[in-house]
């Protein structure tokens, strides 16, 4: 499955926006807070959000580091704006 985002994509992020299941979000990795992740919010759990990458075979996500505390979820991705030819919302497995 092709990743929905590629290295060099620029994203428009609404900081501290309300997150719902299915949203693509930017979050800090719980075990490495200096590292930003772009993952899909799958479900709210006690203590935070369960986040998964759309490309399950190539993703470090909540299956590796567990629930991400709400305070580490930075914002909701509104869309990709660069490169222009790929502008729009990254879809599940879209390339």
Overall average pLDDT of the 61-79 stretch: 95
Going by pLDDT thresholds of 50, 70 and 90, the confidence category of residue 94 is very low
pLDDT averaged over every residue in the chain: 85
Please name which of 3, 24, 5, 4 lies closest in space to residue 13, comparing C-alpha atoms. Answer: 24
Measuring CA to CA, which residue among 68, 61, 74 is closest to residue 11? 74
Q: What does the alpha-carbon distance between residue 25 and residue 22 come to, in Å, rounded to a whole number?
A: 9
| Least confident interval from 4-8, 25-29, 49-53 | 4-8
Q: Which helix (H) or strand (E) holds 24?
A: strand 24-29
Residue 38, classed as helix, strand or coil, is: strand
Once rounded to an integer, what is the mean pLDDT over residues 74-90?
A: 74
Please indicate, yes or no, if residue 73 is contained in any of the structural domains: yes
Please state, in angstroms and rounded to a whole number, the distance separating the CA atoms of residues 46 and 95.
33
pLDDT of residue 22: 95
Q: Report, as an integer, the average pLDDT of 15-24.
A: 94
Instruction: Tell me which DSSP letter residue 67 carries.
Output: P
Provide the domain limits for residue 35. 10-82
Domain with residue 63: its CATH number is 2.10.109.10
Q: In the chain, how many domains are there?
A: 1
């Amino acid at each position: 499955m092709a990743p929905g985002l590629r290295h060099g994509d620029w994203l428009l992020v609404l900081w501290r926006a309300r997150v719902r299941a299915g949203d693509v979000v930017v979050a800090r990795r719980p075990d490495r807070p200096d590292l930003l992740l772009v993952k899909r919010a799958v479900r709210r759990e006690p203590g935070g959000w369960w986040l998964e990458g759309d490309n399950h075979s190539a993703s470090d996500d909540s299956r590796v580091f567990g629930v991400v505390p709400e305070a580490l979820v930075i914002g909701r991705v509104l869309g990709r704006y660069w490169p222009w030819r790929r502008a729009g919302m990254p879809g599940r497995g879209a390339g």
